[in-house]
A and B are shown apart, each in its own frame.
Chain A
Amino acid sequence: MKKKVLGLLLSTTMLAGMLTACGGNNNSGAATTDTSSADGAAATTAAAGDEGKVLNIYCWNDEFQRRVKDHYPGYTETDATSGTIGDVTVKWNITPNQDNAYQNNLDEALLKQGDASADDKIDIFLVEADYALKYVDADVTVPVADLGITDADIANQYKYTQDVMTDSNGALKGLSWQGCPGVLIYNREAAKEVLGSDDPAEVQKSVADWDTFLKTAEQMKAKGYSMTATTNDAYRVFSNNVSGKWVQNGKVVVDPSIMKWVEMSKAMVDAGEVGSTSDLWSDDWSKGFYPDGKVFCYFGPAWMINFSMAADKEGSIANAGGWGATEGPQGFFWGGTWICAAAGTDNASLVADIMKQLTTNKDIMLDIVSADSDFVNNKPAMEEAATKDEFAFAPLGGQNPLAMFCNGAEKCDLSNQCEYDQGCNEEFQKAMKNYFDGNASLDDALAMFNSAIVEKYPDVTAE
């Protein structure tokens, strides 16, 4: 009896396998016949009317998905990875960002874009500042002007958000709904206990530049607080204030500003003023979101306050409104998500509408600010909101940090970005961790960084 059951089971599995294989074949057969017509449509930049029924979106987390779900009119969620807008099905393809996994997945799909069937073609993909250039300067993105979005539509956006997405011919290739100037986010409880006040202006005096920052770190340590959760927290602040690109003339160059981070971090690690040398997003990093983590400050932009600091979890500092924000030692930006239309999209007018609604519609954007505590890419609206109490951030205990962000957004300068940034930043932090942990001398750690870069980018050389 047992044998019979087993036999039945095995043969069913085999049969099922064969059937699915056949199904796959059928699909690809249909795909090849479809391509020619889809290509034709793409070539004429998809005149509205006969648009595709599937909108494929590539992204690395659910941030954009939440924005669309909550703020794009007409979007209904089916399940975690799909939804509908009218009679168009929206498919989310979410791949985590770390170690370039998202980019690799996207690159594969983009290179196959020409052969994919209309329903499988990528319509929208998101990019981050770290690697935006890679896609902007390639013909995988459609200029927003070709989608029917005019300069007048986007006049209110912060200039830097457009500069970074403009290719070498001056065509704008992507739009963002957010601005990402960063601030220093501090633990009010710790500020009161150690510095005597949690008023942003008072706290700013203790973190006005890196020397006072280090002095405050000593005080924090004396009271049992870590200045930052990890050594990598301050990294962005230094790496955004560099004087040159990571890769110059095909050679990787470590900027003096980044070396300053190394020097400062090593001193802080040796003095025991930093929680750990772990990566951002690790458990050691996020434990400071709770009072027991005993971390004084984080560096981050608006999206971090809302999206990353466990504001929705009972017992976290953010949940209780226990954070404060101040400008910190140096201005910086972090991340930022741009919406790009993929070349070959069969949903051009829908893509254009999503871009328009989320990045230019003032009402929707103000909605995003009040619902999600994000800093949106609309200068007049933000300057107006900065003065209104109703736009205060709950995780910041009712502080309205928008004026600070407005200031920061004006100063954002992304001209030293290059397409190797993500790999360089990640590998540099990994290599330096060895130096901080005392497992390598500075020279050895730098040598390890160089060899990692050459492995990752064979076209880049290191000394």
Chain B
Amino acid sequence: MKKNSKVVSYNKWGYIFLIPFVLVYLVFQMIPLVSTIYNSFFENYRSGLKQIGPNFNGLQNYVTIITNGDLPTYLKNTLIMWILGFVPQIILSLLLGAWFTDPSLRLKAQGFFKTVIYLPNLIMASAFAMLFFTLFSNSGPINSILVQIGVLETPYQFMAHIWSVRGLVAFMNCLMWFGNTTILLMAGMMGIDPSLFEAAQVDGATATQIFYKVTLPLLKPILIYVMITSLIGGLQMFDVPQILTNGTGDPMRSSMTLIMYLNKHLFSKNYGLGGALSVFMFIITGILSMVVFKFTTGEDKD
């Protein structure tokens, strides 16, 4: 009897320790989530000093967003910039992670390098974007250098060409996040039983073979985690392109992301359309995450 009651009282502590999380979750996640969905059914915005609404208008906001055809464009922009940044990022991180964890390489000053590659992530994204904006402006240092060493004759307008802007955004995201990804992947790699590597080496496997046949398959859970968190982060891409293009997403909104588009609606405090757009994004994020998850776990059964 006594033993039983002791177990129950431990359980109680479990719940008590959960309270802070549940409270924070309810206040900062659940309530905003529900109220966003609620708001999306109303016409509710401000024009100048006049407040219009909230008037219930059913699915009108959803219809507006589907019919004006902007959503697919901005989704495409977002995904393009995410993929452009994510592919080099994951390759770089895998490579660095493999080197750092490889005991046969015996890299010196590992702590230093691990810190350095993480550093870009410590800079505020907006400050980083501001820096790049200045570096790559028409009369900025990059253009001056390129003109002076004779690579270009006239300054290249980085901000006026679609692929240079997208490329810059992708490059910045890659630079900011590869350190973080490296550290996650390293943690995953270090969790792999070293005896497996030794066994592979004894069997005569090359370093490449070990990487593809041992490291990668065993790293899959971490890779999935990295993929999904990065995808969600990528869909929420905002500060870098917003600051770099001064909120315009120029040229021709080709670098405007979904959240930047959402931000445009919040300019007039348009909670209705903004809410509907957020619901769409919620669904899109859910679907894409499911796809990534299914795709990566499905292979396991082969």
Query: A residues touching B (Cβ–Cβ < 8 Å)?
Result: 99-100, 104, 107, 110-111, 134-135, 138, 140, 276-279, 283-284, 287, 419, 430, 433-434, 437, 439-440, 444-445, 448, 451-452, 455-459
Q: Would A458 and B247 be within 8 Å (CB), given that A284-B138, A437-B157 are in contact?
A: no
Q: Would A283 and B49 be within 8 Å (CB), given that A437-B157, A437-B251, A451-B68 are in contact?
A: no
- Is chain A's binding surface mostly helix, strand, loop or mixed? helix
Would you give 10 A-B contacts (Cβ < 8 Å), ordered by A? A100-B267, A107-B49, A434-B250, A437-B251, A439-B250, A439-B252, A452-B264, A455-B264, A457-B47, A458-B45
**Nearest CB on A from B156, distance (A):** 12
Q: Would A134 and B252 be within 8 Å (CB), given that A284-B137, A455-B264, A458-B268 are in contact?
A: no
**Nearest CB on B from A280, distance (A):** 13
Contact of B49 among A134, A278, A433 (CB under 8 A): A134
- State the CA gap A85–B157 with chains docked (Å): 50
- State the CA gap A439–B160 with chains docked (Å): 8
- Is there contact, CB below 8 Å, between B49 and A111? yes
Contact of B267 among A437, A445, A451, A455 (CB under 8 A): A455
The closest CB in chain B to the CB of A445 belongs to B252
- Is there contact, CB below 8 Å, between B137 and A456? no
Contact of B160 among A99, A277, A445 (CB under 8 A): A277
- Is there contact, CB below 8 Å, between A456 and B45? no
- State the CA gap A433–B70 with chains docked (Å): 20
Tell whether B285 is near chain A: CB-to-CB under 8 Å. no
Contact of A433 among B48, B250, B273 (CB under 8 A): B250
- State the CA gap A457–B70 with chains docked (Å): 17
The closest CB in chain B to the CB of A138 belongs to B49
**Nearest CB on B from A322, distance (A):** 21
- Is there contact, CB below 8 Å, between A458 and B137? no
Tell whether B184 is near chain A: CB-to-CB under 8 Å. no
- State the CA gap A217–B105 with chains docked (Å): 65
- State the CA gap A223–B273 with chains docked (Å): 53
- State the CA gap A65–B267 with chains docked (Å): 28
The interface residues of chain B lying within 8 Å CB-to-CB of A287 are 139
The interface residues of chain A lying within 8 Å CB-to-CB of B251 are 434, 437, 439-440
The interface residues of chain B lying within 8 Å CB-to-CB of A419 are 48
The closest CB in chain A to the CB of B51 belongs to A111
The interface residues of chain B lying within 8 Å CB-to-CB of A283 are 137, 139
The interface residues of chain A lying within 8 Å CB-to-CB of B268 are 455-458
**Nearest CB on A from B264, distance (A):** 4
The closest CB in chain A to the CB of B53 belongs to A458
The interface residues of chain A lying within 8 Å CB-to-CB of B232 are none
The closest CB in chain A to the CB of B48 belongs to A134
The interface residues of chain B lying within 8 Å CB-to-CB of A437 are 157, 160, 251
**Nearest CB on B from A286, distance (A):** 10
Annotate B244-277 by CB proximity to A: 1 below 8 A, 0 otherwise. 0011101111100000000011011010010000
Count chain B residues whose beta carbon lies closer than 8 angstroms to a beta carbon of A.
29
Tell whether B162 is near chain A: CB-to-CB under 8 Å. yes
The closest CB in chain B to the CB of A106 belongs to B49
Q: Would A458 and B273 be within 8 Å (CB), given that A283-B137, A437-B157, A437-B160 are in contact?
A: yes
- Is there contact, CB below 8 Å, between A284 and B139? yes
- Is there contact, CB below 8 Å, between B264 and A456? yes
**Nearest CB on B from A416, distance (A):** 18
Tell whether B52 is near chain A: CB-to-CB under 8 Å. yes
- State the CA gap A79–B35 with chains docked (Å): 43
The closest CB in chain A to the CB of B68 belongs to A451
The interface residues of chain A lying within 8 Å CB-to-CB of B45 are 458-459
Q: Counting chain B CB atoms within 10 Å of each CB, which of A107, A140, A434, A445 scores highest?
A: A434
Which 9 A-B residue pairs are closest in the complex by CB-CB distance? A439-B251, A437-B160, A455-B264, A459-B47, A134-B48, A458-B45, A434-B252, A440-B252, A138-B49
Contact of B247 among A99, A434, A451 (CB under 8 A): A99
**Nearest CB on A from B272, distance (A):** 9
- Is there contact, CB below 8 Å, between B49 and A458? no
The interface residues of chain B lying within 8 Å CB-to-CB of A278 are 138
The closest CB in chain B to the CB of A438 belongs to B160
**Nearest CB on B from A420, distance (A):** 8
**Nearest CB on B from A441, distance (A):** 10
- State the CA gap A285–B70 with chains docked (Å): 32
- State the CA gap A455–B247 with chains docked (Å): 13
- State the CA gap A284–B143 with chains docked (Å): 13
The closest CB in chain B to the CB of A447 belongs to B252
- Is there contact, CB below 8 Å, between A276 and B252? no
The interface residues of chain A lying within 8 Å CB-to-CB of B157 are 437
Q: Counting chain A CB atoms within 10 Å of each CB, which of B52, B70, B247, B267 scores highest?
A: B267
- State the CA gap A458–B160 with chains docked (Å): 28
The interface residues of chain B lying within 8 Å CB-to-CB of A440 are 251-252
Known: A455-B270, A457-B47. 14 other contacts (CB 8 A): A100-B267, A107-B46, A134-B49, A138-B49, A283-B137, A284-B138, A287-B139, A433-B160, A434-B252, A437-B251, A445-B252, A456-B264, A456-B267, A457-B268
